[in-house]
């Protein structure tokens, strides 16, 4: 059974800092890994999708890496801004149900001015 863990559970940083969010998964036989952002009470916004053949994916100030062999992914946010405050979730497909995404519990990020 695939299990996804995110560390830390919460993070508070001053504006301008570079930061790293961690995601680990127990079953390395994944096709891809997806990072999402969720604002309070809202839906999920897809940030980055890394295919299993890739090691990194970049979008603006965001960079995600994937190491299948170790079962880890990191999301790097450069020059953090107050608008980055949100919950960040990672998810992997697979398991016993077709097309199912298994999510971590998320990292709550607060960037204060």
Partner 1 sequence: DAGVTQSPTHLIKTRGQQVTLRCSPISGHKSVSWYQQVLGQGPQFIFQYYEKEERGRGNFPDRFSARQFPNYSSELNVNALLLGDSALYLCASSFSGDTYNEQFFGPGTRLTVL
User: Footprint of partner 1 on this chain (CB under 8 A)?
Assistant: 4, 31-32, 34, 36, 41-46, 49, 51, 89, 91, 93-94, 97-106
- Report which DSSP code applies to 95: S
Minimum Å distance from CB 43 to partner 1? 4
Among residues 41 and 60, whose Cβ is nearest to partner 1? 41
Distance CA 44, CA 66 (A): 21
Considering beta carbons, is residue 34 or 80 the nearer one to partner 1?
Answer: 34
Q: In b/e form, how buried is each residue of 21-39, taking b as 16+ CB within 10 angstroms?
A: bebbbeeeebebbbbbbee
Between 5 and 74, name the residue whose CB sits nearer to partner 1: 5
């Amino acid at each position: 059974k695939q299990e996804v863990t995110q560390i830390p559970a919460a993070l508070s940083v001053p504006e301008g800092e570079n930061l790293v969010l961690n995601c680990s998964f127990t079953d390395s036989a994944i096709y891809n890994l997806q990072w999402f952002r969720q604002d309070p009470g809202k839906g999920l916004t897809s940030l980055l999708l890394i295919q299993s053949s890739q090691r990194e994916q970049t979008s603006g100030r965001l960079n995600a890496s994937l190491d299948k062999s170790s079962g880890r992914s990191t999301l790097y946010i450069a020059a953090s801004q107050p608008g980055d405050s949100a919950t960040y979730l990672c998810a992997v497909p697979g398991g016993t149900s077709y097309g199912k995404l298994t999510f971590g519990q998320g990292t709550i990020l607060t960037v204060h001015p």
